[in-house]
Amino acid sequence: VITGPDLANELVLRGLAEWVVIERAQELASLDEHARVRRREHRVLWQLTVHVDTPAGRGSAHLVIDAAAGSASAAVDQAVALARASVGPAWISRPLAAPARVKLEDPALATGDLADAVRELVDKLPRPVGVTARASLLRERVDVVARQGFHTEWTATLARVDALAIAGRRSLAITREARQLGGLALSAALDHAKRDLHLLQQAVAPSAGPCALVLRADAMLHDDGLGVWSAFASQADAVVERQGLTRYRERAPIAPGADQMAEPLTIRSNGALDFGVRSAPLGDQGDAVRVFALVERGTAAGLGLSPREGALRGRDPNGGVRNLEVATGSWPGTLDGVAPRVVEVRRLRSLAIDPYTGEASLEIALGIDHTAGASQPFRGGSIRIDLIASLAKARRSATAITRGAYKGPDAVLVERAELLG
């Protein structure tokens, strides 16, 4: 069985250029209402990063090691061999910076039996419609040790609920994830599901044609992730940018005219957001997580930088793209006078984004067609859209929400789109 001190000792003996060991001791409890299964897991995982300097340059390796996967010596052997096999241009690690100060642990989950907590979570689930849920709670202690004598630790919690809401002969799947139980906002999620299930029962087939497009929160953040905003996270990948494969470069407008808008788009990566699901004091390579702008008033402003990418560019690493904070706008979210025809998309069934171009295909699960004062729910149809250009010029609502890894407006309005049947 591998232990943390064994790993550190083995790494010290190898005389490596740099190394970081992250130990994650995880406790997980889950409850599946439908299957009537209560599950507990205990596991200890290690993430091992090593850098080997050779005359030809520096090689790096990142391994995830199972607790029972053999000896520390063999694991380090493998990591070193892997690093030697991937030697690239030389770079020098910057001294490890202070970890971000961020709260990741829900005090309500810090102690006590997670199995009891998950049962209570499910028991107290609001049920405005028929709901069956699967909930899980994770409590994790993270220890980080690095060659430079650096040592830090923290604890984190994570709650996740996957629910199936049913009303009549219609159903909707809902997923919520948060560091705190209160952050799940399940009551609102299920109320929205109830309303949308009612709309689904009246829904008809879509009518193709040009329209203005409104994306409400459940559609905009499809699958409880970053949703349409993930197009910007892809563009902020430093490796892809260095290869020249991103759509725009730093200090250039993200789309023609994006910096000339009345309310130009600003997006920040905030990995130090208290209780953000992608927040952490340190990244997986021991790099300090920092807040940085991806887009500043319509202009590309920054990239997610790993230690290697930061060193190659002469900048500090920042932990990569994490939670996204999108600046709100002044649009009140109402549809009056917006356009002769407005398609309000409430739920998507799939969202496919080309990470290089930002071109996207949105398959609609539920929408409302607002034409000439009448509103008709519909299901089906799709929208194909250039997300970068469209979101750069979209009107953003004044109301902010925080959900999963997203904090920003709860809706956007794109003035020109086309609904496909």
Partner 1 sequence: VLASLGVASAQAALWACGARQRPARRRASEIHPEIRTWLRDAVATLLGAGFSAVQVLAVSRQRTTAAVDVLGAGVARARTTGVVLTARDRDGALREHVTNALSQDGIAAAVEELAPKARAASVDFGPPPRPLPVPRPDPDLLADGQILARVAALAARDRELSSRIVYSAAVMDIDDARVWSVAPGRDVEQRLVRVRRSITRVAWDGSRPIISEAARAWRGGLDDQDLADSELAAAREGALAMMTPRAFEDREYPFALDPAVTASLIEAIVQTLLTSTAARRPEVADRLAIGARAAPALVTLIDDPGVPGAYGGFQFDDTGAPANPVRLIDSGLLATRLARPRRAGHVARVEPLSSHLRLLPGAVERDQLLDEGFTLEGPLGTVVDPASDRVVIAVARARERSGGKRTGRMFADIELVGDLSSLLASVTALSNQTTVIGVRDEVGGQPRWRSFDMPWLRGRGMLRARPRAT
Q: Which of 5, 9, 54, 64 binds partner 1 (CB under 8 A)?
A: 64
Strands (E), 112-253: 130-146, 151-167, 170-178, 209-216
CB of 246 to partner 1, least distance (A): 12
What is the rounded CA–CA span in Å between residue 223 and residue 103?
25
3-class DSSP assignment, residue 189: helix
Q: Which of 3, 9, 13, 35 binds partner 1 (CB under 8 A)?
A: 35
Q: Give, as one character, the DSSP assignment of residue 59.
A: E
Does 69 sit near partner 1 (CB under 8 A)? Answer: yes
Contact 79, 67 (CB under 8 A): no
CB of 66 to partner 1, least distance (A): 5
Does 32 sit near partner 1 (CB under 8 A)? Answer: yes
Does 198 sit near partner 1 (CB under 8 A)? Answer: no
Scanning 59-67, 212-220, 225-233, 321-329 for contacts with partner 1 by CB under 8 A, the matching segment is 59-67
Q: Which is nearer to partner 1, 88 or 182 (CB)?
A: 88
CB of 59 to partner 1, least distance (A): 9
Does 355 sit near partner 1 (CB under 8 A)? Answer: no
Does 386 sit near partner 1 (CB under 8 A)? Answer: yes
Q: Which is nearer to partner 1, 288 or 388 (CB)?
A: 388
Does 42 sit near partner 1 (CB under 8 A)? Answer: yes
What is the rounded CA–CA span in Å between residue 199 and residue 193?
10
Contact 408, 338 (CB under 8 A): no
What is the rounded CA–CA span in Å between residue 284 and residue 99?
12
Does 349 sit near partner 1 (CB under 8 A)? Answer: yes
C-alpha distance from residue 259 to each of 248, 326, 389 (Å): 13, 15, 11
Backbone angles phi, psi at 285, to 5 degrees: -110, 15
Q: Which of 30, 180, 269, 270 binds partner 1 (CB under 8 A)?
A: 30
What is the rounded CA–CA span in Å between residue 414 and residue 391?
7
CB of 391 to partner 1, least distance (A): 15
Q: Which of 143, 359, 415, 418 binds partner 1 (CB under 8 A)?
A: 359
Binding mask 94-133 for partner 1 (x = CB under 8 A): --------------------------------------x-
Instruction: Write out the binding residues for partner 1, residues 1-20 only, by CB under 8 A.
Output: 1
Q: Give, as one character, the DSSP assignment of residue 116.
A: H
Q: Which of 157, 269, 382, 390 binds partner 1 (CB under 8 A)?
A: 382
CB of 46 to partner 1, least distance (A): 12
- Helices then strands, counting H and E runs in the chain, come out as 10, 19
CB of 70 to partner 1, least distance (A): 6
Contact 252, 300 (CB under 8 A): yes
C-alpha distance from residue 373 to each of 82, 200, 208, 370, 415 (Å): 64, 20, 18, 7, 18
Scanning 10-18, 35-43, 269-277, 311-319 for contacts with partner 1 by CB under 8 A, the matching segment is 35-43
HSE-CB for 334 with a 13 A CA cutoff = 3
The H-assigned helical ranges of 3-71 are 4-14
Contact 323, 306 (CB under 8 A): no
Q: Which is nearer to partner 1, 100 or 189 (CB)?
A: 189
Residues in contact with partner 1, counted by CB under 8 A, come to a total of: 55
What is the rounded CA–CA span in Å between residue 88 and residue 27?
38
Does 63 sit near partner 1 (CB under 8 A)? Answer: yes
Does 78 sit near partner 1 (CB under 8 A)? Answer: yes
Residue type, 298: G
Does 169 sit near partner 1 (CB under 8 A)? Answer: yes
What is the rounded CA–CA span in Å between residue 154 and residue 284?
14
Name the residues that contact partner 1, by CB under 8 A. Answer: 1, 30, 32, 34-44, 61-64, 66-70, 78, 81-82, 84-87, 132, 164, 166, 168-172, 200, 349-350, 352, 354, 356-357, 359-361, 363, 365, 379-380, 382, 384, 386
